[in-house]
Structure 1
C-alpha cells in the first residue's frame, strides 16, 4: 500500500508541477499581452483552477517526506515515546481534518458537477474538476495519514524521521 500511495503522490506532484509551469506561461503571456493591449482571455480562471492541483496534489508527497511545517520547539526536547505520542496525535487530527474536507468537498463537487458550475469570466472554465481534485488529493492524504498512524503504533517509541532533523 505504501508503494501505491507513493506512486500516486508522485503522479499528483508531477501533474501539479506541469500545472504550475503552464500557469506561469499563461500568466507571463497575460502580462505581456496586457502591455501590448491584448490580454490572454481566461488567464485568471486557468490559474485559479490549477492552484487546486498544485496544493492538494502536493500535500501527500510532503507528508510522505515528513516535510510539513510543524512547531518543533517541544518536539526535539522530549524523548522518543513522547515524540511517538505527538506524531500519533498529529496524524489523528489530520485524519479528522481531511475527512471533513473530503466529506464537504465531495458534497460540493457533486453539486458543482450536477449544475455544471463554471467561472463567469470571458472564458467559462468548469469548476467541478478542481473540486474533485481537492477531494481526491485530500483522500490520498487520509490514506497516507492512516499508514503513518499504523507505523506510529507498530513502532511506538521509535518516532518517524523528520525532513529537517
Structure 2
C-alpha cells in the first residue's frame, strides 16, 4: 500500500507541476495571435503565427488534461453520480476508468508511431511555413503519457476508496 501511495503522490506532483506550467501557454498563444493581428495591419503578415498558435493550443490542451483530471474539473454526465455515496462513486469510477486506460494506451501507441515517423522522415507541415512536426508530436506523446499516468493514479485512489482505505 505504501508503494502505491508513493506512486500516486509522485504522479500527482508531476501532473500538478506540468499543469501549472502549461497554464501559461495561453498567454504565449495570445501574444502570438496579437503579433499576427499587428503584422497583418502594419507590416507584412507573418506566415508562422496561425500554425504556432495551433501548436501552442495543442500543447496547452494535452499537457493540461491530466491536471484537469487531477482537479476533477473535467466534464461529467451527472444524472445519478452526485447522489451516490463516495464509496459507490469510487467503485463505479474504478470500472469506467479501465475504458479510459484502454483508450489512452492505444492513443499513446499511435502517437509514438506517428512521432517515430516524423523523426525518421523529417516530416513537416503542408503549410507555407512548413515547420517540423516532430516537436509537437513529442509534446503530444508526453501529454498522453502524463494523462495515462494520472489515470492510473486516479484508479489507485478510487480502488483504495472503494475498499475503505482511502489514500492520504
Same-fold status (TM-score > 0.5):
yes
Total equivalences in the alignment: 160
- The 8 Å contact of residues 88 and 162 in structure 2, kept in 1 or not, is answered as no
Partner residue, 1:83: 89
Partner residue, 2:25: 19
Root mean square deviation, CA, Å = 2.2
Runs of 4+ that moved beyond 4 A: none
Q: 1:5 aligned to 2:11? A: yes
Q: Secondary structure at the match of 2:45?
A: coil
Q: 1:127 aligned to 2:136? A: no
Structure 2, unmatched stretches of 5+, are 1-6
Which whole-Å CA distance do the structure 2 matches of 1:153 and 1:13 have between them? Answer: 24
Deviations 1:120-148 (A, max 9, x none): 33333211111121111111111111122
TM-score (norm 1): 0.85
Partner residue, 1:163: none
TM-score (norm 2): 0.84
Structure 1, unmatched stretches of 5+, are 161-165
